[in-house]
Structure 1
Amino acid sequence: MASDFLVDGGRIMAMRRSRGLSRRILANLVGCSEEWLRLVEKGARPLDRLSTVMRIADVLRVNDLSELVGGPITLPATGDHGEYDEISQALLFPRLCADEVAESVHRVHRHVSSAWEIWQRSPRRYTELHRRLPALLLMAETSARLAKAADQEAGAANLAQVYRLFATLLRSSGRHPLALLAADRAVAAATADLLLPAVTRAELAEVLIHLGRYADARRLCLAATELTADPSTTGTCYLTAALATAEENDLLQTEELLNRARKIGDRLGAGRADFLTEVDLHTVVVAVRMGRYRQAIRLAADIDAARLFAKDRQARYFLSLATAHTMDRDPEAATAMLRKVVETCPEELKYSPGAGRVVQQLRLLDCETTRGELREIARLTA
C-alpha cells in the first residue's frame, strides 16, 4: 500500500508496553486479531491504513501521531463529535444509511462527476463542496458496500474519487492532517481501477509535500508511474515529484522530472495542449518554490493560463505568481495577480492559507497605489 512507510510497528509495541497493555488487550480494543498486531509490531506486516493508526492512537491515548508515525503529523482526537465541522465528522466518524437503501453505482458516479466539475469550475467551489461532500461520502460508502458483484469495482472507484475530493478540498484549505487521512483512504479504495491507484497516490504525495515529507512524496510518485499506462497520469506523477524535489532544492533532479513530463506532453501532441500548459505552469511554480522569483516571472510571460480547463489550477498558479512578484518587491504586479485570483475564484482568498500570507506580505510593503485595493482583497480573506 502507498502508506506502508508511515508507521514503525516497534513504536506501537513500546508504547503499548509503557501503558501496561498486553497485545491481546490492545488487539481487542482496536478490533483486530492478536496475530495481526504481532506481525505489525514485528515489522512483518505493514500498517497501511491511517484510520487504523488513529484507532490505535485513541486506545493508547496518543494525541500527537508523530509519536507513532514517521513525521510531524497531528490529527484531532476521536472523542467529542461536537468539536468538528461536517467535513471532519464525515471523515472521522463514518456511518451508513440506516435504511440500507443504496443508490446505484451509476447514479453515484454522476454525483461524483458533478462534484469534480464544481471543484474545477465553480467560483464558489469551497462552499459548494463543504455542503455536498458529507452526504456524497455517505452515499458512496453505502453504494459500494451494497453493490452487486458486477458493480463492486465501480462502487470502489466512486468511493476513491469521493475521498480524493475530500483530500483535495482539505489540502487546499490548509487542513493537511485531515487531508492525509482522506488521501490514505482514497488509495485504499482505488485498488481495482486502472488509473486511480496512480492518481490517488499523486494526491497523497501532494499532501505529504505540505507536511514536509518531500522524499516520501517523491518516492510515492515515482512508484505510482509503474501502476498506470496512461501517459497523462504518468506525467502528472512526474510533475508532483518535481514539486517535492524542488522543496529539497535539488535543481538537477527537479529539471529531470520536469523534462520527463514535457516529453510526455510532446508525445501527446496538440490534442492534449492542456497538458503542456500544465507542465509550463508547474515549471513556474517550481521556480517560485526554489526562490527563483525573477526566473518564474520571465517564464510566466509566455504562458496563457486560460488554456487550462480547471480554474482551481489557474488560481494556484496566479497565487504562485503573486508570491514571486511580492518577493521581487513589485506590489502592483502582485496585486494584479491577486485580482486574477478573485476573478477566477474569490473564495480562494478566504480558504487558501497561501493567499492570506501573500496579502499580509503585500501590506507590509505598504505601496500607496495598491493600498486601497489590498484592503478590499484583505476583506475577502477574513
Structure 2
Amino acid sequence: MPSDATPDPYTDPLGFGQRMQILRTRRGMSRPVAAGLLGMSPSWVKQLERGEIGMPKLPMVLRIAELLRVRDLSDLTGDQTPAVDLFIGPGHSRLPEVRTAVNALTLGGDRQAPSAAHLAARLTRAWTARHEAPNHREVIGELLPGLIRDAQLAVRQADTAADRRAAQAVLSEVYSLSQFFIAYQPDSALLWRVAERGMVAAQESEDPHAIGVAAWLAAQAHRDSGPAHFDAADAMTREALAYLEPMLPDADDRTAAVTGALQHEAGYTAARRGEKGTAWGWWDKAQATAGRLPTAYYHPVTSFSQAIMGAHAVTIAVELRAGGESVRQAVASDTATIPSRPRLARHRIEEARAYQLDGQPETALATLERAHKAAPETIRYNGYARRIVLEETESRVPARRQRAAVLAEHLGLLAA
C-alpha cells in the first residue's frame, strides 16, 4: 500500500475504549456523567476511551457494562472475551413446549373449548402457584402450553360478541403469564410476539384491567430493550394512564392496582434516565393509589399493593445510583409483607444492588444468598445478580471470592 494512502480505520479491530465511547455516545451520556456514576474521574474515562490506558479489570468492566446497558459483554470487549449475555439467562427446559403452543395454529377440530370462567379459574390457580413456588418457571412452564391452546380455542369458538370479549380478556392474561416465563430467556422474538398478541387481545376485550396489564408489560419490554426505547416505554405508559386514571374514582381493586403499577413504571423509566424529581413524583402518585387498596390486597400479575411500595422505593433509588438512599430504603422496607416468593427474591436482588452501590459487597452477597433461598429461578435469570456475583469472584478478599464462587455455581455461571 502506498505510504500516502488513507489509513483504513477498520484494519485493526475496535479497542475497548473506542467501543465504550461509541456505546456511551449512543446512550447520550457525557463523560463527566459516566465518570460520576462509575466513581472515577472524567480524565480517567477520557484516557480509557482514547486507549491511553488498557482495559480495566473485570469488576470495572461489569460496572461499565451495566451503566451502558450492554446486553452482550463482547459488544464492549470485542474479541477479548467470549460472548457473555449479562441480561439474558439460560433457556429453560420447557421453553420449546411454550414456544410450540404460542406458534401453533389452534383450530381445535371437534374439541370443545373450555368456558372463559373455567379458564379464568385455571389462571387464578396458575398465578397462585407461581407466587408460592421457588421454581416458578418450572411450575408455570408446565401449565402454559395447555392454557395457551385452550384460551386460543375459546376465542375461536365464542358464539356472541360478549363471549368473545370475555375470552379475549382471558387470552390476554394467559399471554401476560407467558411473558413472565419467557422474559430473560434467549428468545426475544418470542417475547415480543407474545407481548404484541397480548395487547391485541386486551384491546379486543375492551376490558380496562386487561388493557392496563398488557400496557404494563409492553412498557417493560420496551424499557428493557435499552435507552433507545425509553421513549416508547414512556409513550405506552402515559397513554395507558390517560385511559385508566379517569376511571380511578369508581375502579375496582384490580383496575386501581394496575393503574398504580403503571404509575410506578413511569417512575422506574424516569429513574433509569436519571430524572430524580420525576421518578419520585411518580412514586408518590403510585403510593397514593396503593393507599386506596385494602391492606391485604396483592395484585397477582403486577404484585402492586401497599406491601410492595417499599420495594419499589428501593428500585427507584438504585436506578438513580443513590447508594446511601437505596440502603436507607432497603432498611425501611417491610419484606415480611411480600407474599410472592419470586417477587421477594427480586426485591432481595434490588437490595443487593443497593448494598453494592453503597460499598458493602459482603452484605450484597449475603442478600443474594437470601434471594436464592426465596426463589432460585428468579436470581438465576437476573442480570444484575449475575453481574454482582461475577464481579465478586474477582474480589481480593478470599472469603468473598469463595462466597461468590458458590453463588456462581448455584446460578449456573460456571456451566460449560
* TM > 0.5: yes
Structure 1 segment 134-145 matched on structure 2, within 5 A: 134-145=145-156
Question: Is 1:312–2:328 an aligned residue pair?
Answer: no
* 1:357 and 2:396 aligned: no
Given that 1:209 and 1:217 are in contact with CA atoms closer than 8 Å, whether structure 2 keeps it comes out as: yes
Deviation string, structure 1 residues 59-110 (Cα, Å, up to 9, x no partner)? xxxxxxxxxxxxxxxxxxxxxxxxx822233334443434432122222222
Distance in 2 (alpha carbons) for counterparts of 1:209 and 1:164: 17
| SS of residue in 2 equivalent to 1:195 | helix
Alignment-derived partner of residue 218 in structure 1: 234
Cα separation, partners in 2 of 1:178 and 1:354, compared to 1, 3 Å: farther
Q: Which amino acid aligns with 1:355?
A: A
Aligned to 1:123: 134
From 314, 318, 331, the counterpart of 1:288: 318
Alpha-carbon deviations, 1:213-252, whole Å to 9, x = none?
Answer: 1121122112112333233222111001111111111112
Q: Which residue of 2 aligns with 1:110?
A: 121
**Which residue number in structure 1 is paired with residue 63 of structure 2?**
none
Shift of 1:285: 0.6
Distance 2:100 2:384 in 1: 25
Q: CA–CA distance in 2 between the matches of 1:254 and 1:218?
A: 12
Distance 1:344 1:247 in 2: 26
Give the aligned residue type for 2:190.
Answer: L
- 1:189 maps to amino acid: A
Deviation track 1:184-238 (CA, whole Å, cap 9, x = no partner) reads 2111111222311112101110111101211211221121123332332221110
| Deviations 1:3-49, CA, capped at 9 Å, x for gaps | xxxxxxxxxxxxxxxxxxxxxxxxxxxxxxxxxxxxxxxxxxxxxxx
Structure 1 vs Structure 2 CA RMSD: 2.2
The structure whose RCO (Cα within 8 Å, separation 6+) is larger is 2
- Indicate whether 1:250 and 2:275 are aligned: yes
Structure 1 residue 159: deviation in Å? 0.4
SS at match of 2:308: helix
User: Pick from 222, 228, 252: which aligns with 1:208?
Assistant: 222
1:338 and 2:368 are equivalent in the alignment: yes
Say whether 1:195 aligns with 2:225: no
Q: CA deviation at 1:258?
A: 1.0
In the alignment, is the contact (CA less than 8 A) between 2:327 and 2:358 conserved in 1?
Answer: no
In 2, are the aligned partners of 1:347 and 1:380 still within 8 Å (CA)?
no
Deviations for 1:258-316, whole angstroms, at most 9, x for unmatched residues?
11112223344646597233222112111111211221011111111121222222211
Opposite residue 150 of structure 2, the aligned amino acid is: M
CA contact (8 A) 2:114 2:154 kept: yes
Deviation, 1:168, is 2.0
Measured after TM superposition, the shift of residue 360 of structure 1 is 0.8
5+ residue gaps in structure 1? 1-83
Partner Cα separation in structure 2 for residue 287 and residue 376 of structure 1: 29
- Kept in 2: contact 1:265–1:276 (CA 8 A): yes
**Secondary structure, in 3 states, of the residue corresponding to 2:399?**
coil
1:181 matched to 2:181? The reply is: no
Displacement of 1:113 in angstroms is: 1.5
The equivalent of 1:375 in structure 2 is 405
> Of residues 165, 178, 182 in structure 2, which corresponds to 1:153?
165
Letter in 2 for 1:217: A
CA deviation after TM superposition for structure 1 residue 174, in Å? 6.6
Q: Which amino acid aligns with 1:194?
A: P
Structure 2 unmatched ranges of 5 or more:
1-94, 248-254, 299-303
2:323 is aligned with 1:298? no
Q: 3-state SS of the aligned residue for 1:299?
A: helix
Give the direction of change, closer, same or farther, for the CA distance of 1:172–1:239 in structure 2 (3 Å limit): farther
CA contact (8 A) 1:173 1:353 kept: no
1:321 aligns with 2:337: no
For residues 293 and 91 of structure 1, what CA distance do their matches in structure 2 show?
42
What amino acid is aligned across from residue 88 of structure 1 in structure 2? Answer: R
The reply on whether 1:240 has 2:265 as its aligned counterpart is yes
Q: Please give the alpha-carbon distance, in whole angstroms, between the structure 2 residues aligned to 1:166 and 1:123.
A: 17
Tell me the residue number matched to 1:278. 308
